[in-house]
Structure 1
Amino acid sequence: MKTNRFFSVFLLMVLLTSLLITPPALAEETASQAAPQLHSKAALLVDANTGAVVYALNEHQELYPASTTKIMTALLVLEAVDEGKLSMGDELTASRAAMTTGLSEDGSTANIKEGEIMTVEEYLTCMLVVSANEACNVLAEAVSGSVEAFVDAMNAKAEELGCENTHFVNTSGLHDSQHYTSAWDLYLITAEAMKYDAFMRICDTATATIPATNLSEARTLHTSNYLIGAWWSRGYLYDDAHGIKTGSTSQAGHCLVSSATRGSLSFISVVLGADRVTLDDGEIRTYSFYDTRLLFDWAFDNFSYQTVLTSDELIRDVGVALSKTDRVSVHPAEDVELLLPNGTDPADLERALDLQDPVDAPVSQGQSLGTMTLSLDGRELATVELLAMADVEADGLLVFWRNVKDFFSKTAVRVVLIVLGVLILALVLWKLTLGRRRYRYGRSVGRRSRGGGYRGRRR
Structure 2
Amino acid sequence: MKKQVFRKFAAGALALTLSFSLFGGAKQANAQAALNVNADGAILVDAETGKILYEKNGESPLGVASMTKMMTEYLLLDAVKRGKVKWDQEYSVSDLVYKMSQPRDLSNVPLRKDGKYTVKELYEAMAIYSANGATIALAEIIGGSESNFVKMMNEKAKKLGLKHTKFVNSCGLNNRDYHGEQPEGSGPEDENVMSPEDVATLAFHLINEYPDVLKTASTPMKVFREGTDDRIVMKNWNWMLPSLVYGYQGMDGLKTGTTDFAGYCFTGTASRDGKRFITVVQNAVGANGNGDYKSRFDETRKMLDYAFSTTTKEEIVPKHYQVKGHKTIPVIKGKEDQVKIYTKSAIDMVIENGEKNNYKPVLVLDKNKINKNGELTAPIKKGEKIGYLTVEPKNGDKIKYLTAEGQKKVQVDVVAAQDVEKANWFVLMMRGIGNFFGDVWDGIASTVKGWF
Q: What interval of TM-score do these two structures reach, taking the shorter chain for normalisation?
A: 0.7 to 0.9
> What displacement does 1:104 show?
7.7
1:413 alignment counterpart = none
Equivalent residue, structure 2, for 1:177: 190
User: 2:46·2:278 contact (CA, 8 Å) conserved in 1?
Assistant: yes
- Write out per-residue CA displacement over residues 250-295 of structure 1, whole angstroms, 9 at most, x where no aligned residue: 1111110111011211111121121356589xx9673321111011
Aligned with residue 387 of structure 1, among 411, 415, 421:
415
Alpha carbons of 1:371 and 1:22: their partners in 2 closer, same or farther (altered >3 Å)? closer
1:335 has 2:346 as partner:
yes
Q: Distance in 2 between matches of 1:149 and 1:403?
A: 68
Q: For residues 188-225 of structure 1, what are the alpha-carbon distances to aligned partners after superposition, in whole Å with 9 as ceiling and x for unaligned? A: 222232233542122111111112487x4311111111
State the shift of 1:324 in Å: 5.4
Residue 288 (1) aligns with residue 293 (2): no
Partner residue, 2:268: 258
Q: Which runs of 5+ in 2 are unaligned?
A: 1-21, 175-188, 400-406, 434-452
- Equivalent of 1:202, from 199, 204, 216? 216
3-state SS in 1 of match to 2:247: coil
Amino acid at match of 1:179: N
Structure 1 counterpart of 2:330, from 319, 322, 329? 319
Counterpart amino acid of residue 309 in structure 1: V
Q: How many residues align?
A: 376
Deviations 1:367-409 (A, max 9, x none): 22222221014325632221111122333357569999xxxxx
Alignment RMSD (CA, Å) = 3.0
- In structure 2, C-alpha distance between the alignment counterparts of 1:107 and 1:288, rounded to whole Å: 19
Paired residues of 2:314 and 2:356 also in contact (CA < 8 A): no
**Residue aligned with 1:98, SS:** helix
- Normalised to the residue count of structure 2, the TM-score between the two structures is 0.75
- Whether 1:370 aligns to 2:372 is no
The question of whether the paired residues in 2 share the 8 Å contact of 1:103 and 1:174 is answered with no
| Letter of the structure 1 residue corresponding to residue 205 of structure 2 | E
User: Counterpart of 2:305?
Assistant: 297
Residue number in structure 1 paired with 2:26: 24
The structure whose residues are more often helix, as a share, is 1
**Match of 1:94?**
93
SS state at 1:121 partner: helix
> Judging changes above 3 Å, is the alpha-carbon distance between structure 1 residues 21 and 124 closer, same or farther for their aligned structure 2 residues?
closer
Q: Which residue among 173, 189, 202 is the counterpart of 2:202?
A: 189
Q: Secondary structure at the match of 1:239?
A: coil
Distance 1:290-1:260 versus aligned 2 partners, 3 A rule = same
Query: Which is worse superposed, 96-105 or 348-357?
Result: 96-105
CA 284–203 in structure 1, closer or farther in 2 if over 3 Å, else same: closer
Shift of 1:302: 0.8
Corresponding letter in the other structure for 1:360: T
Give the match for residue 412 of structure 1.
Answer: none
Unaligned runs of 5+ in 1: 1-19, 405-459
Instruction: Please tell me the residue identity of whatever aligns with 1:302.
Output: T
What CA distance in whole angstroms lies between the structure 2 residues aligned with 1:336 and 1:21?
14
1:121 aligns to what? 120
Aligned to 1:272: 282
Distance 1:402 1:165 in 2: 61
Percent identity, aligned pairs only, is: 27
Asked whether the equivalents of residues 240 and 261 of structure 1 are also in contact (C-alpha less than 8 Å), the reply is yes
Paired residue type of 1:136? T
1:396-455 deviations in Å (ceiling 9; x for gaps): 357569999xxxxxxxxxxxxxxxxxxxxxxxxxxxxxxxxxxxxxxxxxxxxxxxxxxx
Q: Which moved more, 1:245-254 or 1:52-61?
A: 52-61
Aligned counterparts of 1:100 and 1:384: Cα–Cα separation in 2: 53
C-alpha deviations, 1:305-352, integer Å up to 9, x for none? 111222222222212223453322210021211111111234x42222
Mapped contact 1:258–1:270 kept (Cα < 8 A): yes
Q: Distance in 1 between matches of 2:386 and 2:312?
A: 31
Higher relative contact order (CA 8 A, sep 6+): 2
Q: In the aligned structure 2, how far is the partner of 1:135 from the partner of 1:284?
A: 25
Change in CA separation of 1:200 and 1:295 when aligned onto 2, cut-off 3 Å? same
Match of 1:3 in 2: none
Q: Secondary structure at the residue paired with 1:311?
A: coil
What is the Cα deviation at residue 116 of structure 1?
Answer: 2.9
**Within 2, Cα distance between the matches of 1:197 and 1:353?**
32
